[in-house]
Protein backbone atom coordinates (compact mmCIF):
# COMPACT_ATOMS: atom_id res chain seq x y z
CA UNK A 1 0.00 0.00 0.00
CA UNK A 2 2.98 2.31 0.55
CA UNK A 3 3.88 1.72 -3.11
CA UNK A 4 0.42 2.97 -4.09
CA UNK A 5 0.92 6.04 -1.93
CA UNK A 6 4.25 6.90 -3.54
CA UNK A 7 2.96 6.44 -7.09
CA UNK A 8 -0.27 8.39 -6.47
CA UNK A 9 1.71 11.27 -4.96
CA UNK A 10 4.12 11.37 -7.90
CA UNK A 11 1.27 11.34 -10.40
CA UNK A 12 -0.51 14.12 -8.52
CA UNK A 13 2.57 16.35 -8.78
CA UNK A 14 2.99 15.65 -12.50
CA UNK A 15 -0.67 16.22 -13.31
CA UNK A 16 -0.73 19.47 -11.33
CA UNK A 17 2.27 20.81 -13.24
CA UNK A 18 0.86 19.85 -16.65
CA UNK A 19 -2.68 21.07 -16.08
CA UNK A 20 -3.93 23.67 -18.60
CA UNK A 21 -7.34 24.32 -17.08
CA UNK A 22 -9.09 21.15 -18.24
CA UNK A 23 -9.69 19.60 -14.83
CA UNK A 24 -6.18 18.34 -14.18
CA UNK A 25 -5.91 20.05 -10.81
CA UNK A 26 -9.11 18.44 -9.59
CA UNK A 27 -7.70 15.14 -10.76
CA UNK A 28 -4.52 15.91 -8.87
CA UNK A 29 -6.65 16.57 -5.77
CA UNK A 30 -8.23 13.15 -6.18
CA UNK A 31 -4.79 11.57 -6.48
CA UNK A 32 -3.68 13.35 -3.33
CA UNK A 33 -6.74 11.98 -1.58
CA UNK A 34 -5.83 8.48 -2.69
CA UNK A 35 -2.25 9.01 -1.51
CA UNK A 36 -3.47 10.19 1.90
CA UNK A 37 -5.98 7.40 2.14
CA UNK A 38 -3.51 4.61 1.36
CA UNK A 39 -0.73 6.26 3.35
CA UNK A 40 -2.76 6.61 6.52
CA UNK A 41 -4.13 3.08 6.05
CA UNK A 42 -0.55 1.83 5.99
CA UNK A 43 0.42 3.86 9.05
CA UNK A 44 -2.63 2.61 10.90
CA UNK A 45 -1.67 -1.00 10.18
CA UNK A 46 1.97 -0.46 11.08
CA UNK A 47 1.31 1.53 14.27
CA UNK A 48 2.55 -0.06 17.50
CA UNK A 49 0.17 1.65 19.92
CA UNK A 50 -3.58 1.83 20.15
CA UNK A 51 -3.62 5.65 20.13
CA UNK A 52 -1.50 6.09 17.00
CA UNK A 53 -3.33 3.31 15.15
CA UNK A 54 -6.69 4.96 15.77
CA UNK A 55 -5.31 8.41 14.91
CA UNK A 56 -4.06 7.27 11.48
CA UNK A 57 -7.37 5.50 10.91
CA UNK A 58 -9.19 8.78 11.46
CA UNK A 59 -7.00 10.58 8.94
CA UNK A 60 -8.00 8.08 6.24
CA UNK A 61 -11.39 9.83 6.15
CA UNK A 62 -9.64 13.04 5.06
CA UNK A 63 -8.11 11.24 2.06
CA UNK A 64 -11.29 9.44 1.02
CA UNK A 65 -13.33 12.66 1.07
CA UNK A 66 -10.78 14.56 -1.04
CA UNK A 67 -10.54 11.67 -3.49
CA UNK A 68 -14.29 11.42 -4.04
CA UNK A 69 -14.93 15.16 -4.40
CA UNK A 70 -11.86 15.76 -6.59
CA UNK A 71 -12.81 12.94 -8.93
CA UNK A 72 -16.35 14.26 -9.47
CA UNK A 73 -15.16 17.81 -10.10
CA UNK A 74 -12.58 16.51 -12.57
CA UNK A 75 -15.26 14.52 -14.42
CA UNK A 76 -17.47 17.61 -14.67
CA UNK A 77 -14.69 19.72 -16.20
CA UNK A 78 -13.35 16.94 -18.40
CA UNK A 79 -16.76 16.21 -19.94
CA UNK A 80 -17.43 19.85 -20.81
CA UNK A 81 -19.44 20.88 -17.74
CA UNK A 82 -16.80 23.08 -16.18
CA UNK A 83 -19.27 25.96 -15.87
CA UNK A 84 -20.99 23.99 -13.10
CA UNK A 85 -17.84 23.88 -10.97
CA UNK A 86 -18.23 26.93 -8.77
CA UNK A 87 -17.02 27.73 -5.22
CA UNK A 88 -20.58 27.19 -4.05
CA UNK A 89 -20.70 23.68 -5.52
CA UNK A 90 -17.33 22.82 -3.98
CA UNK A 91 -18.56 24.02 -0.60
CA UNK A 92 -21.78 22.00 -0.88
CA UNK A 93 -19.92 18.83 -1.86
CA UNK A 94 -17.47 19.31 1.01
CA UNK A 95 -20.12 19.78 3.69
CA UNK A 96 -20.83 16.11 4.39
CA UNK A 97 -17.17 14.96 4.41
CA UNK A 98 -16.26 17.82 6.79
CA UNK A 99 -19.12 16.91 9.10
CA UNK A 100 -18.08 13.25 9.05
CA UNK A 101 -14.47 14.22 9.69
CA UNK A 102 -15.60 16.22 12.72
CA UNK A 103 -17.51 13.23 14.07
CA UNK A 104 -14.53 10.96 13.44
CA UNK A 105 -12.12 13.11 15.45
CA UNK A 106 -14.63 13.40 18.30
CA UNK A 107 -15.56 9.71 18.27
CA UNK A 108 -14.32 9.25 21.85
CA UNK A 109 -17.34 11.24 23.01
CA UNK A 110 -19.92 9.23 21.03
CA UNK A 111 -20.39 6.06 19.00
CA UNK A 112 -21.80 7.64 15.84
CA UNK A 113 -18.89 6.48 13.64
CA UNK A 114 -17.12 3.59 15.37
CA UNK A 115 -19.13 1.02 17.27
CA UNK A 116 -16.02 -0.89 18.30
CA UNK A 117 -12.30 -1.05 17.47
CA UNK A 118 -10.40 -4.33 17.97
CA UNK A 119 -6.62 -4.14 18.15
CA UNK A 120 -3.92 -6.72 18.71
CA UNK A 121 -3.38 -7.03 22.46
CA UNK A 122 0.42 -7.13 22.18
CA UNK A 123 1.38 -5.06 19.10
CA UNK A 124 -1.50 -2.58 19.17
CA UNK A 125 -2.17 -3.08 15.42
CA UNK A 126 -5.70 -2.49 14.23
CA UNK A 127 -7.41 -5.78 13.48
CA UNK A 128 -11.07 -4.99 12.92
CA UNK A 129 -13.43 -2.01 12.84
CA UNK A 130 -17.15 -2.17 13.44
CA UNK A 131 -18.81 0.97 12.04
CA UNK A 132 -21.97 2.63 13.33
CA UNK A 133 -24.99 3.70 11.28
CA UNK A 134 -23.69 7.27 10.71
CA UNK A 135 -20.69 5.88 8.89
CA UNK A 136 -23.07 4.12 6.51
CA UNK A 137 -24.55 7.54 5.66
CA UNK A 138 -21.06 8.77 4.79
CA UNK A 139 -20.43 5.62 2.76
CA UNK A 140 -23.72 6.17 0.90
CA UNK A 141 -22.75 9.80 0.17
CA UNK A 142 -19.38 8.79 -1.22
CA UNK A 143 -21.10 6.12 -3.28
CA UNK A 144 -23.38 8.79 -4.76
CA UNK A 145 -20.33 10.86 -5.74
CA UNK A 146 -18.79 7.80 -7.32
CA UNK A 147 -22.04 6.98 -9.12
CA UNK A 148 -22.27 10.50 -10.60
CA UNK A 149 -18.64 10.34 -11.71
CA UNK A 150 -19.20 6.92 -13.24
CA UNK A 151 -22.28 8.14 -15.12
CA UNK A 152 -20.40 11.12 -16.58
CA UNK A 153 -17.48 9.00 -17.75
CA UNK A 154 -19.72 6.23 -19.07
CA UNK A 155 -21.55 8.79 -21.17
CA UNK A 156 -18.17 9.94 -22.40
CA UNK A 157 -17.28 6.38 -23.36
CA UNK A 158 -20.28 6.13 -25.64
CA UNK A 159 -19.58 9.51 -27.24
CA UNK A 160 -15.86 9.05 -27.79
CA UNK A 161 -13.97 6.93 -30.26
CA UNK A 162 -11.70 4.00 -29.43
CA UNK A 163 -8.81 6.06 -28.10
CA UNK A 164 -10.93 8.03 -25.68
CA UNK A 165 -12.97 5.02 -24.70
CA UNK A 166 -9.74 3.38 -23.61
CA UNK A 167 -8.86 6.44 -21.54
CA UNK A 168 -12.26 6.54 -19.88
CA UNK A 169 -12.29 2.84 -19.09
CA UNK A 170 -8.80 3.08 -17.62
CA UNK A 171 -9.79 5.92 -15.32
CA UNK A 172 -13.10 4.29 -14.36
CA UNK A 173 -11.47 1.02 -13.40
CA UNK A 174 -8.55 2.73 -11.71
CA UNK A 175 -10.72 4.85 -9.45
CA UNK A 176 -13.50 2.32 -9.05
CA UNK A 177 -11.27 -0.38 -7.64
CA UNK A 178 -10.28 1.52 -4.46
CA UNK A 179 -13.88 2.36 -3.64
CA UNK A 180 -14.99 -1.19 -4.31
CA UNK A 181 -12.18 -2.55 -2.15
CA UNK A 182 -13.10 -0.24 0.69
CA UNK A 183 -16.74 -1.23 0.52
CA UNK A 184 -15.82 -4.90 0.57
CA UNK A 185 -13.42 -4.39 3.47
CA UNK A 186 -15.86 -2.27 5.44
CA UNK A 187 -19.02 -4.30 4.94
CA UNK A 188 -18.37 -7.77 3.61
CA UNK A 189 -14.82 -9.00 4.28
CA UNK A 190 -12.36 -8.57 7.14
CA UNK A 191 -10.53 -5.25 6.95
CA UNK A 192 -7.53 -4.59 4.70
CA UNK A 193 -7.57 -7.88 2.85
CA UNK A 194 -8.82 -6.43 -0.46
CA UNK A 195 -7.96 -2.75 -0.37
CA UNK A 196 -4.18 -3.01 -0.77
CA UNK A 197 -4.11 -5.01 -4.05
CA UNK A 198 -6.92 -2.89 -5.52
CA UNK A 199 -4.94 0.28 -4.87
CA UNK A 200 -1.85 -1.23 -6.52
CA UNK A 201 -3.82 -2.07 -9.64
CA UNK A 202 -5.45 1.37 -9.47
CA UNK A 203 -2.23 3.37 -9.64
CA UNK A 204 -1.00 1.27 -12.57
CA UNK A 205 -4.21 1.99 -14.46
CA UNK A 206 -3.89 5.66 -13.59
CA UNK A 207 -0.46 5.68 -15.20
CA UNK A 208 -1.92 4.07 -18.32
CA UNK A 209 -4.78 6.55 -18.51
CA UNK A 210 -2.63 9.59 -17.90
CA UNK A 211 0.62 8.94 -19.72
CA UNK A 212 -0.03 6.22 -22.25
CA UNK A 213 -3.13 7.98 -23.60
CA UNK A 214 -2.28 11.53 -22.39
CA UNK A 215 -5.69 11.73 -20.77
CA UNK A 216 -5.58 15.18 -19.26
CA UNK A 217 -3.96 16.84 -22.28
CA UNK A 218 -6.79 16.78 -24.83
CA UNK A 219 -10.23 15.98 -23.41
CA UNK A 220 -12.74 14.07 -25.53
CA UNK A 221 -15.15 16.98 -25.31
CA UNK A 222 -12.96 18.59 -27.99
CA UNK A 223 -14.16 15.93 -30.40
CA UNK A 224 -17.84 16.29 -29.52
CA UNK A 225 -17.74 20.07 -29.85
CA UNK A 226 -15.33 20.50 -32.73
CA UNK A 227 -14.53 17.42 -34.77
CA UNK A 228 -18.04 16.06 -35.18
CA UNK A 229 -19.56 19.41 -36.16
CA UNK A 230 -17.13 20.41 -38.91
CA UNK A 231 -17.17 19.46 -42.57
CA UNK A 232 -13.48 20.37 -42.92
CA UNK A 233 -10.65 18.07 -41.98
CA UNK A 234 -9.54 18.22 -38.35
CA UNK A 235 -6.25 16.96 -36.96
CA UNK A 236 -5.62 17.13 -33.19
CA UNK A 237 -2.02 16.92 -31.95
CA UNK A 238 -1.19 16.88 -28.24
CA UNK A 239 1.58 18.73 -26.46
CA UNK A 240 4.00 15.87 -27.07
CA UNK A 241 3.55 15.99 -30.82
CA UNK A 242 1.38 12.88 -31.08
CA UNK A 243 -1.80 12.66 -33.12
CA UNK A 244 -4.68 12.16 -30.70
CA UNK A 245 -7.61 12.51 -33.10
CA UNK A 246 -8.43 12.69 -36.80
CA UNK A 247 -11.91 13.18 -38.17
CA UNK A 248 -13.12 11.25 -41.21
CA UNK A 249 -12.61 14.19 -43.59
CA UNK A 250 -8.95 14.59 -42.62
CA UNK A 251 -8.42 10.82 -42.72
CA UNK A 252 -9.78 10.75 -46.28
CA UNK A 253 -7.70 13.73 -47.42
CA UNK A 254 -4.47 12.44 -45.90
CA UNK A 255 -5.09 8.73 -46.53
CA UNK A 256 -4.90 7.84 -42.83
CA UNK A 257 -6.47 5.03 -40.83
CA UNK A 258 -7.07 4.40 -37.13
CA UNK A 259 -3.42 3.44 -36.59
CA UNK A 260 -2.49 7.11 -37.03
CA UNK A 261 -3.97 7.97 -33.63
CA UNK A 262 -1.37 7.77 -30.88
CA UNK A 263 1.65 8.03 -33.21
CA UNK A 264 3.97 11.05 -33.64
CA UNK A 265 2.64 13.58 -36.14
CA UNK A 266 6.03 13.61 -37.87
CA UNK A 267 5.59 9.90 -38.69
CA UNK A 268 1.89 10.10 -39.54
CA UNK A 269 2.47 12.96 -42.01
CA UNK A 270 5.73 11.61 -43.44
CA UNK A 271 4.15 11.29 -46.91
CA UNK A 272 3.03 14.94 -46.82
CA UNK A 273 6.24 16.94 -46.08
CA UNK A 274 4.77 20.46 -46.54
CA UNK A 275 1.92 19.71 -44.12
CA UNK A 276 4.26 17.95 -41.70
CA UNK A 277 6.47 21.04 -41.61
CA UNK A 278 3.52 23.19 -40.56
CA UNK A 279 2.12 20.76 -38.00
CA UNK A 280 5.38 19.84 -36.28
CA UNK A 281 6.74 23.40 -36.07
CA UNK A 282 4.81 25.38 -33.45
CA UNK A 283 6.04 28.66 -34.95
CA UNK A 284 5.11 27.82 -38.54
CA UNK A 285 2.13 29.47 -40.17
CA UNK A 286 0.95 28.41 -43.62
CA UNK A 287 0.54 31.71 -45.47
CA UNK A 288 -0.27 29.88 -48.70
CA UNK A 289 -2.24 26.67 -49.30
CA UNK A 290 -0.23 23.52 -48.58
CA UNK A 291 0.19 21.01 -51.38
CA UNK A 292 -0.38 17.30 -50.71
CA UNK A 293 -0.63 14.16 -52.83
CA UNK A 294 -3.96 12.65 -51.82
CA UNK A 295 -5.51 9.37 -53.02
CA UNK A 296 -7.82 11.44 -55.23
CA UNK A 297 -4.90 13.32 -56.76
CA UNK A 298 -3.15 16.62 -56.17
CA UNK A 299 -4.88 18.66 -53.44
CA UNK A 300 -4.32 22.03 -51.80
CA UNK A 301 -5.20 22.66 -48.14
CA UNK A 302 -5.52 25.85 -46.17
CA UNK A 303 -4.25 25.11 -42.66
CA UNK A 304 -5.59 26.99 -39.64
CA UNK A 305 -4.10 26.14 -36.26
CA UNK A 306 -5.65 26.73 -32.82
CA UNK A 307 -3.70 26.21 -29.61
CA UNK A 308 -5.65 24.39 -26.91
CA UNK A 309 -3.28 25.34 -24.10
CA UNK A 310 0.34 25.42 -23.06
CA UNK A 311 0.51 21.64 -22.72
CA UNK A 312 -2.75 20.52 -24.32
CA UNK A 313 -1.63 20.67 -27.94
CA UNK A 314 -3.17 22.10 -31.08
CA UNK A 315 -6.10 21.62 -33.42
CA UNK A 316 -5.43 21.92 -37.16
CA UNK A 317 -8.36 22.78 -39.42
CA UNK A 318 -7.73 21.56 -42.97
CA UNK A 319 -9.88 23.17 -45.66
CA UNK A 320 -9.68 21.74 -49.17
CA UNK A 321 -9.27 24.70 -51.55
CA UNK A 322 -8.14 22.69 -54.56
CA UNK A 323 -10.97 23.86 -56.82
CA UNK A 324 -10.32 27.48 -55.91
CA UNK A 325 -6.60 27.12 -56.64
CA UNK A 326 -7.35 25.45 -59.96
CA UNK A 327 -9.77 28.22 -60.86
CA UNK A 328 -7.21 30.87 -59.92
CA UNK A 329 -4.55 29.17 -62.00
CA UNK A 330 -6.91 28.91 -64.96
CA UNK A 331 -7.61 32.63 -64.64
CA UNK A 332 -3.87 33.29 -64.54
CA UNK A 333 -3.42 31.26 -67.73
CA UNK A 334 -6.29 33.13 -69.37
CA UNK A 335 -4.79 36.44 -68.32
CA UNK A 336 -1.44 35.38 -69.74
CA UNK A 337 -3.09 34.46 -73.03
CA UNK A 338 -4.97 37.75 -72.99
CA UNK A 339 -1.76 39.65 -72.36
CA UNK A 340 -0.10 37.79 -75.23
CA UNK A 341 -3.04 38.70 -77.43
CA UNK A 342 -2.76 42.33 -76.37
CA UNK A 343 0.93 42.28 -77.26
CA UNK A 344 0.13 40.87 -80.69
CA UNK A 345 -2.49 43.55 -81.22
CA UNK A 346 -0.17 46.25 -79.95
CA UNK A 347 2.90 45.33 -82.00
CA UNK A 348 2.17 42.86 -84.79
CA UNK A 349 -1.01 44.64 -85.92
CA UNK A 350 -0.01 48.23 -85.22
CA UNK A 351 3.23 48.02 -87.22
CA UNK A 352 1.69 47.01 -90.59
CA UNK A 353 -1.08 49.53 -89.94
CA UNK A 354 1.51 52.28 -89.59
CA UNK A 355 3.14 51.13 -92.82
CA UNK A 356 -0.21 51.25 -94.62
CA UNK A 357 -0.88 54.75 -93.31
CA UNK A 358 2.56 55.84 -94.55
CA UNK A 359 1.90 54.59 -98.07
CA UNK A 360 -1.47 56.32 -98.10
CA UNK A 361 0.26 59.60 -97.26
CA UNK A 362 2.72 59.07 -100.11
CA UNK A 363 -0.04 58.19 -102.53
CA UNK A 364 -2.02 61.26 -101.49
CA UNK A 365 0.95 63.46 -102.42
CA UNK A 366 1.05 62.00 -105.93
CA UNK A 367 -2.66 62.31 -106.66
CA UNK A 368 -3.25 65.67 -104.97
CA UNK A 369 -6.34 67.37 -106.44
CA UNK A 370 -7.33 64.35 -108.51
CA UNK A 371 -10.34 62.07 -108.31
CA UNK A 372 -8.81 59.30 -106.12
CA UNK A 373 -8.29 61.75 -103.21
CA UNK A 374 -11.81 61.05 -101.86
CA UNK A 375 -11.09 57.36 -101.84
CA UNK A 376 -7.84 57.92 -100.01
CA UNK A 377 -9.74 59.86 -97.34
CA UNK A 378 -11.95 56.81 -96.82
CA UNK A 379 -8.86 54.64 -96.48
CA UNK A 380 -7.40 57.06 -93.93
CA UNK A 381 -10.67 57.00 -91.99
CA UNK A 382 -10.57 53.22 -91.93
CA UNK A 383 -6.97 53.30 -90.78
CA UNK A 384 -7.87 55.71 -87.99
CA UNK A 385 -10.71 53.43 -86.88
CA UNK A 386 -8.39 50.41 -86.95
CA UNK A 387 -5.88 52.32 -84.81
CA UNK A 388 -8.69 53.13 -82.36
CA UNK A 389 -9.63 49.47 -82.24
CA UNK A 390 -6.03 48.54 -81.49
CA UNK A 391 -5.85 51.10 -78.67
CA UNK A 392 -9.20 50.04 -77.21
CA UNK A 393 -8.46 46.32 -77.33
CA UNK A 394 -5.11 46.91 -75.69
CA UNK A 395 -6.72 49.04 -72.96
CA UNK A 396 -9.51 46.52 -72.40
CA UNK A 397 -6.99 43.70 -72.01
CA UNK A 398 -4.72 45.54 -69.59
CA UNK A 399 -7.02 47.71 -67.49
CA UNK A 400 -9.23 44.98 -66.00
CA UNK A 401 -7.14 44.14 -62.95
CA UNK A 402 -7.72 45.73 -59.56
CA UNK A 403 -5.65 48.83 -58.88
CA UNK A 404 -2.86 47.49 -56.64
CA UNK A 405 -0.96 50.75 -56.00
CA UNK A 406 -3.49 53.60 -56.04
CA UNK A 407 -2.26 57.18 -55.88
CA UNK A 408 -4.03 60.48 -55.22
CA UNK A 409 -5.60 61.58 -58.50
CA UNK A 410 -7.12 65.11 -58.81
CA UNK A 411 -10.15 64.53 -61.04
CA UNK A 412 -10.22 68.11 -62.36
CA UNK A 413 -6.73 67.66 -63.85
CA UNK A 414 -7.65 64.26 -65.31
CA UNK A 415 -10.79 65.73 -66.91
CA UNK A 416 -8.83 68.62 -68.47
CA UNK A 417 -6.13 66.31 -69.86
CA UNK A 418 -8.71 63.90 -71.25
CA UNK A 419 -10.64 66.69 -72.98
CA UNK A 420 -7.42 67.93 -74.59
CA UNK A 421 -6.77 64.48 -76.10
CA UNK A 422 -10.15 64.14 -77.80
CA UNK A 423 -11.20 65.76 -81.09
CA UNK A 424 -14.11 67.71 -79.62
CA UNK A 425 -14.75 70.08 -82.56
CA UNK A 426 -17.05 72.86 -81.24
CA UNK A 427 -18.18 70.88 -78.16
CA UNK A 428 -18.17 72.55 -74.74
CA UNK A 429 -16.90 71.17 -71.41
CA UNK A 430 -18.27 72.31 -68.06
CA UNK A 431 -16.25 70.75 -65.22
CA UNK A 432 -17.79 71.23 -61.79
CA UNK A 433 -15.75 68.49 -60.13
CA UNK A 434 -12.86 69.42 -57.87
CA UNK A 435 -12.29 66.26 -55.83
CA UNK A 436 -9.44 63.78 -55.40
CA UNK A 437 -9.65 60.00 -55.48
CA UNK A 438 -7.21 57.14 -54.91
CA UNK A 439 -6.68 55.35 -58.21
CA UNK A 440 -4.75 54.93 -61.44
CA UNK A 441 -4.51 58.28 -63.21
CA UNK A 442 -3.83 56.88 -66.70
CA UNK A 443 -6.78 54.49 -66.54
CA UNK A 444 -9.11 57.21 -65.30
CA UNK A 445 -7.97 59.62 -68.02
CA UNK A 446 -8.62 56.97 -70.67
CA UNK A 447 -12.11 56.44 -69.26
CA UNK A 448 -12.93 60.16 -69.42
CA UNK A 449 -11.54 60.29 -72.97
CA UNK A 450 -13.90 57.49 -74.00
CA UNK A 451 -16.89 59.19 -72.33
CA UNK A 452 -16.10 62.52 -74.03
CA UNK A 453 -15.56 60.84 -77.40
CA UNK A 454 -18.85 58.98 -76.97
CA UNK A 455 -20.66 62.29 -76.23
CA UNK A 456 -19.24 63.97 -79.36
CA UNK A 457 -19.93 60.99 -81.60
CA UNK A 458 -23.54 60.64 -80.44
CA UNK A 459 -24.42 64.20 -79.39
CA UNK A 460 -22.90 66.11 -82.30
CA UNK A 461 -20.07 68.60 -82.78
CA UNK A 462 -21.71 71.27 -80.60
CA UNK A 463 -22.62 69.05 -77.66
CA UNK A 464 -22.14 70.32 -74.12
CA UNK A 465 -20.54 67.90 -71.64
CA UNK A 466 -20.86 68.43 -67.88
CA UNK A 467 -18.72 66.70 -65.23
CA UNK A 468 -19.77 67.08 -61.60
CA UNK A 469 -20.23 65.48 -58.18
CA UNK A 470 -23.35 63.47 -57.35
CA UNK A 471 -25.78 65.19 -54.98
CA UNK A 472 -25.35 62.54 -52.29
CA UNK A 473 -21.55 62.77 -52.45
CA UNK A 474 -21.14 59.11 -53.35
CA UNK A 475 -19.35 59.71 -56.66
CA UNK A 476 -19.34 61.79 -59.85
CA UNK A 477 -21.08 61.92 -63.25
CA UNK A 478 -20.45 62.76 -66.89
CA UNK A 479 -23.55 64.09 -68.70
CA UNK A 480 -24.29 65.62 -72.12
CA UNK A 481 -27.21 67.36 -73.80
CA UNK A 482 -27.32 64.99 -76.76
CA UNK A 483 -30.17 62.67 -77.80
CA UNK A 484 -29.68 60.35 -74.82
CA UNK A 485 -29.74 56.57 -74.67
CA UNK A 486 -32.97 54.54 -75.02
CA UNK A 487 -33.97 52.61 -71.89
CA UNK A 488 -33.76 49.29 -73.70
CA UNK A 489 -30.10 49.88 -74.62
CA UNK A 490 -28.72 51.15 -71.30
CA UNK A 491 -27.69 47.77 -69.90
CA UNK A 492 -26.12 46.57 -73.16
CA UNK A 493 -24.31 49.78 -74.00
CA UNK A 494 -21.31 48.95 -71.76
CA UNK A 495 -20.91 45.47 -73.26
CA UNK A 496 -17.88 44.85 -75.46
CA UNK A 497 -18.69 45.22 -79.12
CA UNK A 498 -21.86 47.28 -78.69
CA UNK A 499 -21.90 50.39 -80.88
CA UNK A 500 -24.71 52.54 -82.16
CA UNK A 501 -22.47 54.22 -84.76
CA UNK A 502 -19.21 53.43 -86.50
CA UNK A 503 -17.30 53.37 -83.19
CA UNK A 504 -15.25 50.44 -82.00
CA UNK A 505 -17.91 49.24 -79.58
CA UNK A 506 -15.26 48.98 -76.87
CA UNK A 507 -15.06 52.51 -75.45
CA UNK A 508 -17.80 52.22 -72.84
CA UNK A 509 -16.78 48.65 -72.04
CA UNK A 510 -13.35 50.03 -71.14
CA UNK A 511 -15.00 52.64 -68.91
CA UNK A 512 -16.97 49.96 -67.09
CA UNK A 513 -13.85 47.80 -66.70
CA UNK A 514 -11.80 50.66 -65.23
CA UNK A 515 -14.62 51.65 -62.87
CA UNK A 516 -14.93 48.08 -61.54
CA UNK A 517 -11.14 47.79 -61.22
CA UNK A 518 -11.29 50.72 -58.80
CA UNK A 519 -14.06 49.08 -56.78
CA UNK A 520 -16.72 51.49 -58.02
CA UNK A 521 -19.99 50.97 -59.93
CA UNK A 522 -21.24 52.48 -63.19
CA UNK A 523 -24.86 53.40 -63.94
CA UNK A 524 -26.37 54.79 -67.16
CA UNK A 525 -29.32 57.18 -66.95
CA UNK A 526 -30.77 60.46 -68.34
CA UNK A 527 -29.23 63.89 -67.87
CA UNK A 528 -31.30 66.95 -66.91
CA UNK A 529 -31.49 67.86 -70.62
CA UNK A 530 -32.59 64.31 -71.56
CA UNK A 531 -29.13 63.49 -72.82
CA UNK A 532 -26.87 60.64 -71.65
CA UNK A 533 -25.60 60.58 -68.07
CA UNK A 534 -22.99 58.17 -66.71
CA UNK A 535 -22.84 57.97 -62.91
CA UNK A 536 -19.85 56.50 -61.08
CA UNK A 537 -20.88 55.54 -57.54
CA UNK A 538 -19.29 54.04 -54.39
CA UNK A 539 -16.37 56.44 -54.73
CA UNK A 540 -14.46 57.39 -51.59
CA UNK A 541 -13.11 60.90 -52.10
CA UNK A 542 -9.95 61.81 -50.21
CA UNK A 543 -8.15 64.99 -49.29
CA UNK A 544 -5.65 66.20 -51.85
CA UNK A 545 -2.25 64.61 -51.26
CA UNK A 546 -3.65 61.76 -49.12
CA UNK A 547 -2.32 58.22 -49.43
CA UNK A 548 -3.83 54.83 -48.71
Q: Are residues 59 and 132 in the same domain?
A: yes
Q: Are residues 117 and 190 in the same domain?
A: yes
Does 377 score more than 80 pLDDT? no
Q: 508 lies in which domain range?
A: 407-537
Kindly state whether residue 548 falls inside one of the protein's structural domains: no
The pLDDT of residue 76 is: 85
Q: Are residues 315 and 270 in the same domain?
A: yes
Does 399 score more than 60 pLDDT? no
Kindly state whether residue 258 falls inside one of the protein's structural domains: yes
Identify the CATH number of the domain in which residue 233 sits.
Answer: 3.30.450.20
Are the CB atoms for 67 and 93 separated by under 8 Å?
A: no
The pLDDT of residue 537 is: 94
Does 125 score more than 50 pLDDT? yes
The pLDDT of residue 175 is: 65
Q: Are residues 191 and 266 in the same domain?
A: no
Q: Are residues 438 and 365 in the same domain?
A: no
Q: CB-based burial of residue 431 (10 Å sphere; 0-12 exposed, 13-18 middle, 19+ buried)?
A: middle
* Interval 477-487 mean pLDDT: 89
Nearest of 238, 231, 186, 230 to residue 214 by alpha carbon? 238
Local confidence band at 27 (pLDDT 50, 70, 90 cut-offs) = confident
The residue from 320, 344, 370 where one domain ends is 320
Local confidence band at 361 (pLDDT 50, 70, 90 cut-offs) = confident
Tell me which of 441 and 57 has the higher pLDDT: 441
The residue from 164, 190, 212 where one domain ends is 212
Kindly state whether residue 220 falls inside one of the protein's structural domains: no
User: Directed axis angle between helix 2-18 and helix 24-46, to 10°?
Assistant: 160
Lowest-pLDDT range of 179-188, 297-306, 498-507 = 498-507
H or E element: which one contains 83? none
Identify the CATH number of the domain in which residue 124 sits.
Answer: 1.20.1070
Are the CB atoms for 30 and 146 separated by under 8 Å?
A: no
The pLDDT of residue 463 is: 93
| Maximum mean pLDDT: which of 324-328, 336-340, 485-489 | 324-328
The residue from 184, 212, 240 where one domain ends is 212
Does 196 score more than 50 pLDDT? yes
The pLDDT of residue 438 is: 92
Q: Are residues 123 and 231 in the same domain?
A: no
The pLDDT of residue 227 is: 59
Report how far apart, in Å, the C-alpha atoms of 106 and of each of 110, 126, 404 are. 7, 19, 83
How many separate domains does the chain show? 4
Does 301 score more than 70 pLDDT? yes
Q: Is the pTM of this model over 0.85?
A: no
Amino acid sequence: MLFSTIVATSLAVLVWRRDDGRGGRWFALSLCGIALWTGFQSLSVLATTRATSILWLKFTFLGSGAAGIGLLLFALVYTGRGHLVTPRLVALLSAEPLLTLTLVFTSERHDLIFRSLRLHPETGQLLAVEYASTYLVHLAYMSILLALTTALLLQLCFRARDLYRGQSIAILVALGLPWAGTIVDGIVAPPMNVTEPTFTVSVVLLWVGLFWYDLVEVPPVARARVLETLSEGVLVVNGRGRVVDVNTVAASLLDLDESAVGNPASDVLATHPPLRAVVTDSTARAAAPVHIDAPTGERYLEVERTTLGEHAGEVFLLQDVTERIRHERELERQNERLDQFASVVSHDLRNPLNVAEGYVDLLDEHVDGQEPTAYLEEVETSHDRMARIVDDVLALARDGDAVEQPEPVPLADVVANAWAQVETADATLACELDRTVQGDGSQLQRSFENLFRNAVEHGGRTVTVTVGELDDGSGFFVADDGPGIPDAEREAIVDSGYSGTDGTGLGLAIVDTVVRAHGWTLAVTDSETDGARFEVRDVAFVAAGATV
